Amino acid sequence: MLKTSKKPVQAAWFCRLLLLATLSVGVVKVVTAQQTASQENQSEAEQKANTQNENTGMTRDQLLSLIANEIVLAPGIGLRNVRLGESMTAVKDRLGTATSVTTSGLTGKITNLVYRLGSETSIVLSGQEVLERISVKGNSSALVRTSEGARFGMQSRLIRRIYNEPSKSRKSRLEYRQLGATFYLESDRVNRIDLYPRRG
Protein backbone atom coordinates (compact mmCIF):
# COMPACT_ATOMS: atom_id res chain seq x y z
CA MET A 1 0.00 0.00 0.00
CA LEU A 2 1.35 3.41 -1.01
CA LYS A 3 2.00 6.01 1.74
CA THR A 4 0.86 9.60 1.11
CA SER A 5 3.43 12.24 2.03
CA LYS A 6 2.29 14.96 4.46
CA LYS A 7 4.93 17.47 3.26
CA PRO A 8 2.87 18.92 0.37
CA VAL A 9 -0.07 19.43 2.75
CA GLN A 10 2.15 21.15 5.32
CA ALA A 11 3.70 23.32 2.60
CA ALA A 12 0.26 24.38 1.42
CA TRP A 13 -0.80 25.37 4.94
CA PHE A 14 2.46 27.27 5.41
CA CYS A 15 1.84 29.23 2.19
CA ARG A 16 -1.69 30.11 3.38
CA LEU A 17 -0.39 31.33 6.75
CA LEU A 18 2.29 33.38 5.01
CA LEU A 19 -0.31 34.93 2.71
CA LEU A 20 -2.61 35.78 5.67
CA ALA A 21 0.28 37.37 7.54
CA THR A 22 1.19 39.48 4.49
CA LEU A 23 -2.42 40.63 4.06
CA SER A 24 -2.66 41.52 7.77
CA VAL A 25 0.45 43.68 7.55
CA GLY A 26 -1.03 45.44 4.51
CA VAL A 27 -4.32 46.11 6.31
CA VAL A 28 -2.47 47.53 9.33
CA LYS A 29 -0.48 49.83 7.07
CA VAL A 30 -3.64 51.07 5.31
CA VAL A 31 -5.45 51.68 8.62
CA THR A 32 -2.40 53.49 10.03
CA ALA A 33 -2.17 55.68 6.91
CA GLN A 34 -5.89 56.50 7.14
CA GLN A 35 -5.58 57.41 10.82
CA THR A 36 -2.58 59.64 10.09
CA ALA A 37 -4.42 61.37 7.24
CA SER A 38 -7.48 61.81 9.47
CA GLN A 39 -5.39 63.36 12.24
CA GLU A 40 -3.70 65.72 9.75
CA ASN A 41 -7.08 66.75 8.30
CA GLN A 42 -8.45 67.32 11.81
CA SER A 43 -5.43 69.46 12.67
CA GLU A 44 -5.89 71.52 9.48
CA ALA A 45 -9.61 71.90 10.25
CA GLU A 46 -8.82 73.17 13.74
CA GLN A 47 -6.37 75.70 12.33
CA LYS A 48 -8.95 76.90 9.78
CA ALA A 49 -11.57 77.15 12.51
CA ASN A 50 -9.36 79.61 14.36
CA THR A 51 -8.52 81.67 11.25
CA GLN A 52 -10.55 84.83 10.69
CA ASN A 53 -12.40 85.16 7.40
CA GLU A 54 -11.44 88.40 5.64
CA ASN A 55 -15.01 88.99 4.39
CA THR A 56 -16.81 88.49 7.69
CA GLY A 57 -14.26 89.35 10.35
CA MET A 58 -15.25 86.17 12.23
CA THR A 59 -13.72 82.71 12.55
CA ARG A 60 -15.52 79.73 11.08
CA ASP A 61 -16.61 78.61 14.56
CA GLN A 62 -18.10 82.04 15.23
CA LEU A 63 -19.94 81.96 11.92
CA LEU A 64 -21.30 78.48 12.62
CA SER A 65 -22.34 79.63 16.08
CA LEU A 66 -24.20 82.56 14.52
CA ILE A 67 -25.71 80.68 11.62
CA ALA A 68 -26.06 77.11 12.95
CA ASN A 69 -26.94 76.02 9.37
CA GLU A 70 -29.67 78.63 9.11
CA ILE A 71 -30.23 82.06 10.60
CA VAL A 72 -33.55 82.14 12.43
CA LEU A 73 -35.06 85.58 13.06
CA ALA A 74 -37.51 85.90 15.94
CA PRO A 75 -39.60 89.10 15.63
CA GLY A 76 -39.41 91.22 18.78
CA ILE A 77 -36.71 88.92 20.22
CA GLY A 78 -33.63 88.68 17.98
CA LEU A 79 -31.44 85.89 16.66
CA ARG A 80 -30.80 82.47 18.13
CA ASN A 81 -27.85 83.70 20.20
CA VAL A 82 -28.21 87.50 20.04
CA ARG A 83 -31.15 89.16 21.80
CA LEU A 84 -32.62 92.61 21.52
CA GLY A 85 -31.99 94.56 24.73
CA GLU A 86 -28.58 92.98 25.34
CA SER A 87 -25.67 95.33 25.92
CA MET A 88 -23.72 96.20 22.78
CA THR A 89 -20.57 95.24 24.63
CA ALA A 90 -21.89 91.70 25.17
CA VAL A 91 -22.87 91.48 21.49
CA LYS A 92 -19.37 92.50 20.39
CA ASP A 93 -17.74 90.03 22.77
CA ARG A 94 -19.93 87.17 21.55
CA LEU A 95 -19.64 87.78 17.80
CA GLY A 96 -16.11 89.09 17.62
CA THR A 97 -14.72 91.64 15.18
CA ALA A 98 -17.30 93.05 12.76
CA THR A 99 -16.64 93.45 9.04
CA SER A 100 -17.17 97.18 9.55
CA VAL A 101 -18.50 99.60 12.16
CA THR A 102 -20.46 102.77 11.42
CA THR A 103 -22.40 105.34 13.44
CA SER A 104 -25.77 106.94 12.79
CA GLY A 105 -28.42 109.11 14.44
CA LEU A 106 -28.56 112.87 14.84
CA THR A 107 -25.73 112.84 17.36
CA GLY A 108 -23.90 109.86 15.91
CA LYS A 109 -24.33 107.86 19.09
CA ILE A 110 -25.90 104.80 17.49
CA THR A 111 -23.30 102.14 16.69
CA ASN A 112 -23.89 99.80 13.75
CA LEU A 113 -21.97 96.52 13.74
CA VAL A 114 -21.93 95.14 10.20
CA TYR A 115 -21.28 91.43 9.59
CA ARG A 116 -21.16 90.23 5.99
CA LEU A 117 -21.97 86.56 5.42
CA GLY A 118 -20.90 86.13 1.81
CA SER A 119 -21.51 88.62 -0.99
CA GLU A 120 -25.31 88.72 -0.76
CA THR A 121 -26.13 88.50 2.95
CA SER A 122 -25.36 90.98 5.72
CA ILE A 123 -26.46 91.52 9.31
CA VAL A 124 -26.38 94.94 10.97
CA LEU A 125 -26.78 95.16 14.75
CA SER A 126 -27.54 98.69 15.95
CA GLY A 127 -27.86 100.45 19.29
CA GLN A 128 -26.35 102.84 21.76
CA GLU A 129 -25.90 101.12 25.12
CA VAL A 130 -28.09 98.12 24.23
CA LEU A 131 -29.03 96.33 21.01
CA GLU A 132 -32.08 98.14 19.61
CA ARG A 133 -32.38 96.86 16.06
CA ILE A 134 -31.24 93.95 13.88
CA SER A 135 -31.36 94.43 10.12
CA VAL A 136 -30.74 91.48 7.78
CA LYS A 137 -30.40 91.81 4.00
CA GLY A 138 -30.27 88.95 1.52
CA ASN A 139 -31.72 87.23 -1.52
CA SER A 140 -33.82 84.10 -2.02
CA SER A 141 -30.76 81.83 -1.77
CA ALA A 142 -29.79 83.07 1.70
CA LEU A 143 -30.21 80.59 4.56
CA VAL A 144 -32.36 83.00 6.53
CA ARG A 145 -35.95 82.70 7.76
CA THR A 146 -38.16 83.98 10.54
CA SER A 147 -39.37 81.63 13.25
CA GLU A 148 -42.74 81.54 11.44
CA GLY A 149 -41.21 80.66 8.05
CA ALA A 150 -40.98 83.98 6.18
CA ARG A 151 -37.97 84.14 3.84
CA PHE A 152 -36.21 86.49 1.45
CA GLY A 153 -37.78 86.48 -2.00
CA MET A 154 -41.32 85.95 -0.69
CA GLN A 155 -44.10 88.09 -2.14
CA SER A 156 -46.01 90.43 0.14
CA ARG A 157 -49.19 88.31 -0.09
CA LEU A 158 -47.32 85.37 1.43
CA ILE A 159 -46.06 87.55 4.28
CA ARG A 160 -49.67 88.61 4.91
CA ARG A 161 -50.74 84.98 4.87
CA ILE A 162 -48.20 84.21 7.62
CA TYR A 163 -48.62 87.33 9.79
CA ASN A 164 -52.05 88.61 8.69
CA GLU A 165 -52.48 92.32 7.96
CA PRO A 166 -49.62 94.64 9.00
CA SER A 167 -50.04 97.57 11.34
CA LYS A 168 -48.74 99.77 8.53
CA SER A 169 -48.41 98.99 4.85
CA ARG A 170 -46.54 100.73 2.05
CA LYS A 171 -45.41 99.64 -1.36
CA SER A 172 -41.84 99.33 -0.10
CA ARG A 173 -42.50 97.66 3.27
CA LEU A 174 -44.88 95.87 5.63
CA GLU A 175 -44.62 96.95 9.26
CA TYR A 176 -45.70 94.62 12.07
CA ARG A 177 -44.96 96.85 15.04
CA GLN A 178 -46.94 94.71 17.45
CA LEU A 179 -44.66 91.78 16.55
CA GLY A 180 -41.43 93.76 16.28
CA ALA A 181 -40.63 93.17 12.59
CA THR A 182 -40.65 95.08 9.31
CA PHE A 183 -40.36 93.41 5.90
CA TYR A 184 -38.82 95.60 3.19
CA LEU A 185 -39.82 94.91 -0.40
CA GLU A 186 -38.25 95.31 -3.81
CA SER A 187 -40.50 94.46 -6.77
CA ASP A 188 -42.95 93.08 -4.19
CA ARG A 189 -40.43 90.58 -2.82
CA VAL A 190 -38.75 90.61 0.59
CA ASN A 191 -35.08 91.66 0.46
CA ARG A 192 -34.60 92.93 4.03
CA ILE A 193 -36.03 92.09 7.44
CA ASP A 194 -35.67 94.33 10.51
CA LEU A 195 -36.25 93.20 14.08
CA TYR A 196 -36.89 95.57 17.01
CA PRO A 197 -38.73 95.55 20.36
CA ARG A 198 -42.51 95.12 20.10
CA ARG A 199 -44.48 98.36 19.98
CA GLY A 200 -48.05 98.71 21.12
pLDDT tens digits along 153-195: 999 999 999 999 999 999 999 999 999 999 999 999 999 999 9
Q: What percent of the chain has pLDDT over 90?
A: 50
> Phi, psi at residue 153, to the nearest 5°?
90, -10
- At residue 63, the 3 state secondary structure works out as helix
Residue 115 has pLDDT above 80, yes or no: yes
Residue 128 has pLDDT above 70, yes or no: yes
| Total residues belonging to the chain | 200
DSSP secondary structure letters along 41-58? HHHHHHHHHTSBPTTTSS
Q: Domain 60-195 has what CATH class?
A: alpha beta
Residue 92 has pLDDT above 80, yes or no: yes
pLDDT reported for residue 30: 46
Q: What number is the average pLDDT over the span 100-114?
A: 90
Cα gap 118→38, rounded to integer Å: 29
Residues 163, 166, 170, 172, CA torsion sign:
negative
pLDDT reported for residue 26: 53
